[in-house]
């Protein structure tokens, strides 16, 4: 079972653990490039998508873009036949022991600690941590992932 972690912001990213190796992509510039990432991930796979929410001080235009990107990512997962669940930032950060309070440096440092062989950027850090949260929570021996073996 391949676990995928998704930070849906335009400055977010996508990460996956494939055959025990973590890989990460910054959020592509185009929808087609994003869709192709999901097409290339082998099956069976299970994704954790960070739940969309409005942030204090977020403008109407940026909130609309964020929501559009979030909906597009859900659509990609559905179109590719990848089951998924949403996870709140507070939940995955608590489990991963990196409650950031909005400081991306905190999550980048934690990702660097857990994935020392990867070049970690602000764009990929949260996606990698969401992915690792998924591996720890829904690892290969979990009842949850067994439900998706036939996808």
Contacts of 18 (CB under 8 A, 6+ apart): 2, 41, 42
Per-residue model confidence (pLDDT) at position 56: 66
**Percentage of the chain surpassing pLDDT 70?**
87
The mean of the pLDDT values for the chain is 88
For residue range 117-140, list pLDDT tens digits in order.
Answer: 999 999 999 999 999 999 999 875
Structure-block tokens of residue 107: 């999550």
Of residues 46 and 56, more confidence is placed in 46
Over residues 6-17, the mean pLDDT reads 94
- H helix or E strand, kind and range, residue 149: none
Cα(11)–Cα(28) distance, integer angstroms? 9
Give phi and psi for 25, each to the nearest 5. Answer: -130, 140
Per-residue model confidence (pLDDT) at position 103: 86
Cα(2)–Cα(37) distance, integer angstroms? 14
Over residues 26-41, the mean pLDDT reads 96
Residue 88 burial by Cβ neighbours in a 10 Å radius (0-12, 13-18, 19+)? exposed
- Write the DSSP symbol of residue 111: H
Per-residue model confidence (pLDDT) at position 62: 65
For residue range 67-123, list pLDDT tens digits in order.
Answer: 788 999 999 999 999 999 999 999 999 999 999 887 889 999 999 999 999 999 999
102-112 core/surface letters (b: 16 or more CB in 10 A; e: else): eeeeebbebbe
Q: Domains of the chain by range and CATH?
A: 2-146 (3.30.420.10)
Cα(124)–Cα(141) distance, integer angstroms? 26
Residue 149 in this model has a pLDDT that exceeds 60: no
Cα(117)–Cα(132) distance, integer angstroms? 15
Least confident of 16-20, 133-137, 141-145: 141-145
- Write the DSSP symbol of residue 37: H
Is this prediction's pTM over 0.95? no
């Amino acid at each position: 079972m391949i676990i995928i972690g998704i930070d849906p912001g335009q400055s977010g990213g996508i990460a996956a653990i494939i055959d025990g190796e973590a890989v990460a992509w910054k959020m592509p510039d185009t929808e087609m490039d994003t869709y192709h990432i999901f097409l290339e991930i082998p099956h069976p796979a299970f994704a954790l998508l960070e739940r969309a929410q409005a942030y204090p001080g977020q403008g109407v235009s940026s909130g609309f873009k964020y929501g559009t990107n979030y909906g597009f990512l859900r659509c990609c997962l559905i179109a590719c036949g990848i089951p998924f669940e949403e996870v709140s930032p507070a939940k995955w950060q608590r489990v991963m022991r990196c409650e950031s309070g909005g400081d991306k440096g905190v999550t980048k440092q934690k990702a660097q600690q857990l994935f020392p062989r990867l070049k970690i950027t602000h764009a990929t850090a949260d996606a990698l941590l969401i992915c690792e949260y998924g591996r720890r929570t829904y690892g290969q021996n979990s009842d949850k992932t067994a439900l998706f073996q036939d996808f």
